[in-house]
Structure 1
Amino acid sequence: MSRGARINTVLLLLVAALAALPLVLGLGDHKEEPFTGADAEAETAITEIDPDYEPWFSPLYEPPSGEVESALFALQAAIGAGVLAYYFGLRRGRRQGEEQAREQAGPDAGAGPGDGDGAVPERTV
């Protein structure tokens, strides 16, 4: 197994552990909704501190249900992942293309026009 494959495997295991750890340890079992978002947690904390608090802004669009809100969030995440994957794929493709072009050009590619001896070939018309 190559060094890069080992690093990827370790990183994948760490991500899986981070995802499974809260479930295994039972974090959030004492709550009605154990894994709510940060917005809901902040709203609960603010109303506990100051029950008369009124938000400064209101949302531009309020989804009709939690399912629609989750679907929109998943769509946003998928679009972001697609943009990142396209960008990194494009960079990798360009790098591989440059490497192939260098390999095909050979070792004398940087010597200038000609066959590497410095002489300019004759031009036929």
Structure 2
Amino acid sequence: MAKLSCNAENCVNNVTGAFCTAGVIHIKGNNAHSSEGTICSTFAEKNFKNAVVSMTNTNYTGELMQIFSGNEIAVSPGIKCGAVRCVYNENENCHAPNVLINGEHSVSQLSTQCETFVER
């Protein structure tokens, strides 16, 4: 189980700047050669419409676990990854021990990125 850190505080899945409520996180970056070529496609700006839509991808069990895990978030079931050149990508699943999603002040998916990306 990976540990997740995410600073995309404007994301509908980010609660209090520390907890991610998404059931599955999707990283895209098929042609990425660095973290700048990746995005968190699960990101959705905080608003009522996105909150309702995101309910279909909510990790209720993980939310309970997150309450007791401090700033590092226990991610379950995992992180789906389309960054095929990343060393942590195994069959489109992320196997990094720690994952950092950067998206401070983000208002769209395009301003987020997976800082854990390491090119093969």
Question: What TM-score do the two structures reach when normalised by structure 2?
Answer: 0.20
> Which structure's residues are more often strand, by fraction?
2
- TM-score scaled by length of structure 1: 0.19
Structure with greater proportional helix content: 1
Q: Which structure is larger by alpha-carbon Rg, 1 or 2?
A: 1
Q: Which has the higher contact order (CA 8 A, sep 6+)?
A: 2
